[in-house]
Each structure stands twice: as structure tokens, then as C-alpha cells.
Amino acid sequence: MRRPAPAALLLALAATVAGCSTGEIKIDQKKAEGLARKIGDSGQVRVRTVSCPSGVKAKKGTDFDCNLVYADGQKATITMHQLDDKGRIRTSGTDIHLVK
């Protein structure tokens, strides 16, 4: 069983990309997955796969979850918190929730 990373590893990531012609800003899926992997790998077991949803509209105060699968087969989710309408997100080890 892995231990979540300390809250001191709280990170913020500017993950923005312009949307279609609507001018809508969406979260950069690949950057969100990179952040999820970085935080998820801070435990004792390495992350094997990460999957974040695509097309998430940037909206301050809303959250979304990414799925993690560890090398030992354990599954978890990590919650991403949107800091603003420009696509900045944050997460930490305390946002990892093991799936039973």
C-alpha cells in the first residue's frame, strides 16, 4: 500500500489551451496528466498509467478527477482543483483516493 505524498508537495500548474472558435478555455489534458503522475509518483509505488478527462472547461472553483493505476495494480483517483477561469489547476498527495 502506498502512502500519499505530504501536503507540502502541493503544486499549481498553469495548464491552459484555447478552445475552439467559441473562445472557451479548456484544461490541457496532457499537462493535467503530467501533474497527476508527478504527485502520484511521490509515494512508494510508481504510477503505471494516468487518465484525465478531455474537454474540461476552465471554471474557477470546480474540480475534476483523474484516474491512476499503480505498478502493483492498485487503482486511485486524484482530484484536480481549478484555481481560475484561465485553466490553472492544483492538487496534492492528500487529493489521492484509493479505489477499493
Amino acid (one-letter) located at 91? T
pLDDT for 72 equals: 95
Q: Would you mind telling me the total number of residues written for the chain in this entry?
A: 100
Q: How far apart are CA 35 and CA 50, in angstroms?
A: 10
- List, for residues 24-75, the tens digit of each pLDDT value: 999 999 999 999 999 999 878 999 999 999 999 999 999 999 999 999 999 9
